[in-house]
């Protein structure tokens, strides 16, 4: 085990995801681009962590999988992927990536849909949602979401979530933020946009690279990461980028897409309280996760956490060091923290109304923490 860990540390320390074609922001299968998500891990980064730290057919778990970047890369590399996220929007996009039925089948399904909008009422739709859409476009969107839900068309639902708002011609809303749904001033003109043709274009883009139907033992869960429905000693490796101390708000930044996932305003407030993003109880909640990891991880299993620093004025909080100390008390062994500098252009924080760069001269780091069970 010691030699294996030393080799893993050496290979990760070479930062292979920043070399050659892997350094490109858009590296990876188009399926990674089903929909946007603030703070997601780069596919090339996930690819190399999985390639270095796991073997073929290993069970790889990401308990905070977001929109499924790590599970998808694990699957593409021949691993059994398990992704989990309590955020309904993130769960839906991850689920979409494992519901691949073939391009022709998806297009045929869309071609055979007959939009029946007479019974679609907008009276119960909140005004803050309606301000993004022409009424007829919104009716089409609601009809399609209902159709996909009833017929378990996870991939098509994910694709529709991907185009439900944004700033490009393929998006169905007025011009707004692609990741965060903020409306620029002056407010853009509201025009009718036909949903199905744009959805078909989106589906075709997702199949651009080509891939086999995803049929495997891989699965996506929507559970609390401190109480997972997994057997004891059933996971070989855990690779994840857990939430950071209150740096990103995964609910408000996805408020519009969450609403289309049947998570209304009140439910979004409840979800915010359930997610691990409050600095006051962050370590307490991450300790509970650690106790659950200890139950499901095999005795020779490995944990790989990607954690970011938090900057508050002149103070820097080393999240990786905090988690290391917390998990060592639970009986885990630390094998070091590897630093990966984040380019200034990619360093962002979330403020009301959009994404802003962190404006200070401190070096920004992702820190890769390696742990195993004692």
Q: How confident is the model at residue 1 (pLDDT cuts 50, 70, 90)?
A: confident
Mean pLDDT of 63-77: 96
By C-alpha distance, which of 35, 103, 24 is closest to 69? 35
Domain boundaries, the chain: 2-90+234-373, 103-206
Whether the predicted pLDDT of 120 surpasses 80:
yes
54 forms beta bridges with: none
Whether the predicted pLDDT of 277 surpasses 80:
no
d(CA 210, CA 374): 42
Whether the predicted pLDDT of 354 surpasses 50:
no
Whether the predicted pLDDT of 353 surpasses 60:
no
Q: What percent of the chain has pLDDT over 70?
A: 93
d(CA 79, CA 50): 9
Pairing of strands 59-62, 235-240: parallel
How far, CA to CA in Å, does 336 sit from each of 8, 238, 239, 320, 340? 11, 16, 15, 10, 13
- Under CATH, which number does the domain 2-90+234-373 receive? 3.40.50.150
Whole-model pTM: value is: 0.92
Q: How confident is the model at residue 350 (pLDDT cuts 50, 70, 90)?
A: very low
């Amino acid at each position: 085990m010691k030699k294996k860990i030393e080799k893993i540390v050496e290979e990760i320390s070479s930062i292979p995801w920043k070399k050659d074609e892997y350094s490109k922001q858009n590296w990876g299968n188009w399926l990674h681009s089903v929909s946007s998500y603030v703070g997601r891990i780069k596919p090339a980064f996930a690819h190399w962590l999985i390639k270095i730290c796991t073997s073929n057919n290993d069970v790889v778990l990401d308990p905070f999988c977001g929109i499924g970047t790590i599970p998808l890369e694990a699957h593409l590399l021949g691993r059994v992927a398990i992704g989990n996220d309590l955020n309904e929007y993130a769960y839906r996009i991850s689920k979409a990536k494992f519901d691949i039925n073939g391009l022709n089948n998806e297009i045929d399904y869309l071609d055979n849909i007959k939009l029946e909008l007479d019974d679609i009422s907008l009276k119960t739709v909140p005004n803050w949602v309606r301000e993004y859409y022409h009424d007829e476009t919104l009716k089409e969107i609601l009809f399609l979401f209902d159709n996909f839900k009833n017929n378990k068309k996870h991939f098509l639902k994910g694709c529709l979530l991907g185009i439900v708002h944004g700033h490009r011609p393929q998006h169905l809303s007025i011009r707004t933020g692609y990741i965060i749904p903020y409306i620029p001033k002056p407010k853009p003109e509201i025009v009718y946009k036909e949903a199905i043709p744009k959805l078909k274009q989106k589906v075709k883009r997702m199949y651009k690279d080509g891939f086999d139907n995803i049929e495997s033992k891989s699965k996506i869960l929507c559970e609390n990461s401190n109480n997972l429905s997994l057997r004891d000693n059933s996971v070989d490796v855990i690779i994840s980028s857990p939430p950071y101390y209150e740096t990103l708000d995964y609910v408000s930044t996805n408020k519009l897409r969450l609403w289309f996932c049947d998570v209304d305003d009140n439910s979004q407030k409840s979800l915010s309280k359930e997610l691990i993003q409050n600095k006051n109880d962050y370590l307490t909640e991450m300790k509970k996760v650690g106790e659950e990891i200890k139950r499901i991880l095999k005795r020779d299993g490995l944990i790989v956490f990607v954690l970011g620093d938090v900057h508050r004025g002149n103070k820097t909080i080393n999240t990786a060091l905090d988690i290391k100390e917390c998990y060592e008390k639970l009986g885990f062994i630390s094998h070091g923290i590897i630093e990966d500098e984040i380019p200034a252009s990619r360093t962002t924080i979330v403020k009301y109304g959009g994404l802003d760069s962190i404006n200070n001269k401190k070096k920004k780091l992702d820190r890769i923490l390696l742990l195993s069970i004692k």
